[in-house]
Amino acid sequence: MTDWRLKGQYFKNCNCVAHCPCDTIGVPAPQPFCEGLNGMHIVEGHFEKTRLDGLDFAFSYHFPGALHEGNGTLQPFITDRASAAQRDALLGILSGQNGGPLFEIFASLVSNLLEPQSVPIEWSFDKERRRARLAVKGHGEAVAVPLTVPATGAEHRVIVQLPDGFEYHEVDIAQTAVLRGTGKIRFEHKGTNSNLALVDHSPRGLA
């Protein structure tokens, strides 16, 4: 088994209401499809002897129904700061061919994999404040802001735990101030689901 690790900040954004019901009842809502932009900043990582510390990757996606029904379209993005070896390593992990339940499951559900792109990626992430930004040049942007209490406008913190989760075990819930796809996968949403998590993935699964 290939030795790899991705430990860092994970940022997920989709068109569902917060918190995404795909994590609970298994189907998207209020719309019957799922689309968005996810990404990760690797604080500590490697693929065999290739170090991946400090790199970012992202992917935009569209599924016509629930994720488990498959037939998804996905496009990966690797920061242009990555060397050729680092880019190949990250794409090797994202392909699902080197283990890791999250990546194996995603790969099994995607029927239309678009050409990976090496592009500038901008990243900011503050889990405690539920604020984050992911910008993939020419392809999309996601900005998270805290949920608020409708009656008062006060910021509202919601933390969801998934002890048996394969994507994350604990996640702060936010909402999108911006969620748009401007490349081959196009969408525009606001006020939808945003998730901020600290994760540690390896071929054996989520630590």
CA distance 139 to 160: 29
Q: Is the pLDDT of residue 144 over 90?
A: yes
The residue-averaged pLDDT of 75-80 equals 98
The residue-averaged pLDDT of 113-120 equals 98
- Bridge-based pairing state of the strands 170-182 and 186-189: antiparallel
Q: Is the pLDDT of residue 38 over 90?
A: yes
Q: Is the pLDDT of residue 204 over 90?
A: yes
Residue of 18, 9, 10 whose CA lies nearest to 190: 18
CA distance 13 to 63: 14
Contact 70, 61 (CB under 8 A): no
The residue-averaged pLDDT of 31-49 equals 98
pLDDT tens digit sequence for 44-71 = 999 999 999 999 999 999 999 999 999 9
The residue-averaged pLDDT of 70-84 equals 98
How does DSSP classify residue 21? G
Compute the chain's Rg from CA coordinates: 16
Dihedral angle over CA of 117, 206, 30, 190, nearest 10: -50
The residue-averaged pLDDT of 122-144 equals 98
Q: Return the H-helix or E-strand segment holding 91.
A: helix 84-94
Q: Is the pLDDT of residue 1 over 90?
A: no
How does DSSP classify residue 33? S
Q: What percent of the chain has pLDDT over 70?
A: 100
Q: Is the pLDDT of residue 18 over 90?
A: yes
